[in-house]
Structure 1
Amino acid sequence: MKLRFPTATIAAVTFFASLAAGMTSPVLAEETASPTIVTNLRATPMVPANAPVRFAPPAEVVQTLSVVPAELTAADDSVTDSTTDFSTLDAAVAAQSAAIDDEELNCLAVSIYFESKGEPLAGQLAVADVILNRTTSGRFPSSVCSVVKQPGQFSFVKGGRLPDIDTSRRAWKTAVAVARVATKDLWQSPAKNALYFHARHVSPNWGKARVASVGNHIFYR
Structure 2
Amino acid sequence: MTVMLRTGLLFCAVLSASSIGPAQAGPSTEPVLPVETVALPQVNVPNLLDEAGEPALSAPVSEPQPAVVEREEPTVSRSADLAAKVAQLRASDPGSRQLECLATGIYFESKGEPLSGQLAVGHVIANRAESGRFPDSYCGVLFQRGQFSFIRGRSLPSAPRSSRHWLNAVAVAKIVDQELHQSPVGNALFFHARRVSPKWRLKRVASIGNHVFYR
Work out the percentage of aligned pairs sharing the same amino acid. Answer: 55
Within a 5 Å distance, the mapping from 1:1-221 to structure 2 comes to 80-81=75-76, 84-98=77-91, 99-221=93-215
Bigger radius of gyration: 2
Q: Please tell me the root mean square deviation across aligned C-alpha atoms, in Å.
A: 1.7
3-state SS in 1 of match to 2:98: helix
Structure 1: 4+ residue segments shifted above 6 A: none
Deviation at 1:87, TM superposition (A): 2.8
Q: Which amino acid in 2 is paired with 1:91? A: A
Deviation at 1:118, TM superposition (A): 1.2
Name structure 1 gaps, 5 residues minimum: 1-74
Q: Which amino acid in 2 is paired with 1:105? A: L
Tell me the TM-score normalised to structure 2 length.
0.64
Tell me the TM-score normalised to structure 1 length.
0.62
Cα–Cα, structure 1 residues 76 and 176, in superposed 2: closer, same or farther, change >3 Å? closer
3-state SS in 2 of match to 1:95: helix
Preserved contact between residue 89 and residue 121 of structure 1 (Cα < 8 Å) = yes
Cα–Cα, structure 1 residues 76 and 118, in superposed 2: closer, same or farther, change >3 Å? closer
Deviation at 1:101, TM superposition (A): 1.1
Preserved contact between residue 86 and residue 92 of structure 1 (Cα < 8 Å) = no
Deviation at 1:137, TM superposition (A): 0.5
Name structure 2 gaps, 5 residues minimum: 1-70
Once the two structures are superposed, residues 88-146 of structure 1 have per-residue CA deviations (whole angstroms, 9 ceiling, x without a partner) of 11011111141321000000000011000010000000000000000111100001000
Deviation at 1:77, TM superposition (A): 5.7
Q: Separation in 2 of the partners of 1:198 and 1:186?
A: 25
